Amino acid sequence: MVKEYINHLISENNEKLESHEKQLKGLMNDLDCAKTWLDELHAETNIDKNIFSPRAMDANLGKKTEDAQNNIEKIQQDIEYERSFIEESVKKKLEFEKLLEEIEHMELDTNVDSFSKLLSDLYQKIELCLDCLYNDRTKCKNELKNMKSMIQNMLNLLSE
């Protein structure tokens, strides 16, 4: 039951991680476009190159350049924000995987301990049966039935 819950948390975390990675890719593309736009605006504001161009008279180029620079800064902030989410999701994924390993190890230890106890109990019952075999056959028979059910229970535990 705990393993299923942790697996559910892992799948939710993986979905979030994929979403943030997609958003990061989109932001990286937006950043490339914004940088290209800024480069084009810088080329337009180059008076030496565009001295005889009517675009050189565009009074809005300074505002457009400032807007482009602000847009690039905002996109870079968004990229850092998404990277922090991705980093957090990766850490959570590692923690969940570690939890799963610990649970599996605990289950293995529990099964080994249960198996050891069962073997010890069976050994004692066999000793009792051997003692009762010639004196009290009914008690011996009952102990053998009891051992049979113990073995069956342990097999059920091991198969889970």
Predicted confidence (pLDDT) per residue in 111-154, tens digit: 777 777 877 888 888 888 888 878 888 888 888 888 888 888 87
Q: How confident is the model at residue 15 (pLDDT cuts 50, 70, 90)?
A: very high
Instruction: Specify whether the CB–CB gap between 144 and 129 falls below 8 A.
Output: yes
Closest CA to 44 of 25, 62, 68, 71: 62
The Cα angle at residue 109 between residues 107 and 113, in degrees rounded to 5: 115
Residue 52 in this model has a pLDDT that exceeds 70: no
Q: How confident is the model at residue 58 (pLDDT cuts 50, 70, 90)?
A: low
Q: How far is CA 69 from CA 60, 82, 126, in A?
A: 14, 20, 85
* Segment 13-39 mean pLDDT: 93
Closest CA to 25 of 67, 73, 86: 86
Q: How confident is the model at residue 73 (pLDDT cuts 50, 70, 90)?
A: very high
